[in-house]
A and B are shown apart, each in its own frame.
Chain A
């Protein structure tokens, strides 16, 4: 419960920071085809740029909600945006390291950059790359952004250039997939993770010190505030599932619980970053992979016999049904862990954002003050109610992740009886 806990926390943080960005090493995307497409793009879509100078578009609640739960390359506090470091790599183009302030985005606004740098632009807070080789690599002024269907375009010199998103390793399920560049930036989510990591390390190192200094005495200060939670993890999560080996896995469970809880709560603070870390599939995937490896690497002989060759069942049924299902189950367990946390947090945030969107829908995008007031009257109580529920969900999901991990590990280390 001492050093190993902090070690695990550090590893958890670092791996999840990395995991957000990792893409398969082999990056042979067919850039030639993309270039052609881009070249064709800026001929066909030249007229796109005729009407992008000002943002008078209709309010789109879905797009707004997705923008606000996305991971961005700017950190916003209230209406103000702050630049973050960008670390970008494009095969054949090289590694770039610069501040997202180079994009000259508005201090108050939606995070649209006014300049392009090294062929990258900032569209609504997200770094995107211009694939067209005729686009200048210097620090140049750009005309604005245009969207048509799912494609985004940047306007420069009266012409529209198609933009590419960063590579995402979800296999393209959420519109990602391999593109021409990788984004290893210290993004908004990474900043949130580092903040929570620093806070937890500071808090727990202090508590650990006071446990050693005041051994056998009543807890004091913040220690007495946190002790019920420590005991809760120990008595309700670790001991019932892990039996007499609970001590070995307690640090892992505590790290999971407090890291998830901290990020859930941090993501709920309004107007401060709005970092939706636990609602990021890559982050929850990294956590679920930890559970997967800890479970299977600590699996005893009994566990593997039950997975691979269940005793007491006819061989034909074993080979045909039970073994394949059990092997699938090995992967489905962490997969559901990943989805559960992601979907719960993301759904909560989208509901809150939709309620806030009501103000703009009723107010016809800012044209009707009476409508907007009515919208606000409806949306504020609903938002407060939803955020109260989310507060509950933040605890429940952290608890559920820890308790399910404990039950999977418990099943793996169980001795024959």
Chain B
């Protein structure tokens, strides 16, 4: 039971990260289209921001993963 709830939580965390990273990617593409000469800076910052968003999701995933083992 706890495992299933944790799996749902894991899915929700990934939805959040997906929306966040999707937005970052979309805006970065727009920015590159507007200003192709800044592609290097934009790409580096895009990866940095995606990594930060991903960090929050990964904490949620790890907690969802270990919670059933701890609670069981």
Chain A residues in the interface with B (C-beta under 8 A): 172-175, 236, 335-336, 339-340, 343, 396, 399-400, 403-404, 407
Residues of A within 8 A of B48 (CB): 400, 403-404, 407
Contact B55 A336 (CB under 8 A): yes
Contact A336 B59 (CB under 8 A): yes
Q: Who on chain A is nearest to B66 by CB?
A: A173
Interface residues of B in 12-69 (CB under 8 A from A): 40, 44, 47-48, 51-52, 54-56, 58-59, 61-62, 66, 69
Residues of A within 8 A of B69 (CB): 173-175
Contact A340 B44 (CB under 8 A): no
With A174-B69, A400-B51 already in contact, the answer to whether A339 and B58 are too (CB < 8 A) is yes
B1 beta carbon closer than 8 Å to chain A: no
Residues of B within 8 A of A399 (CB): 47
Residues of B within 8 A of A403 (CB): 44, 47-48, 51
Complexed CA–CA distance, A175 and B58 (Å): 19
Contact B47 A340 (CB under 8 A): no
Q: A339 touches which one: B40, B52, B59 (CB < 8 A)?
A: B59
Complexed CA–CA distance, A114 and B44 (Å): 52
Complexed CA–CA distance, A173 and B51 (Å): 24
Q: Who on chain A is nearest to B54 by CB?
A: A340
Complexed CA–CA distance, A335 and B70 (Å): 19
Closest chain A CB from B14 CB (angstroms): 11
With A236-B44, A396-B47, A403-B44 already in contact, the answer to whether A343 and B66 are too (CB < 8 A) is no
Closest chain B CB from A149 CB (angstroms): 11
Residues of B within 8 A of A340 (CB): 51, 54-55, 58
Which 5 A-B pairs give the minimum distances between C-beta atoms? A336-B55, A400-B51, A173-B66, A343-B58, A339-B58
Contact B40 A236 (CB under 8 A): yes
Residues of B within 8 A of A339 (CB): 55, 58-59, 62
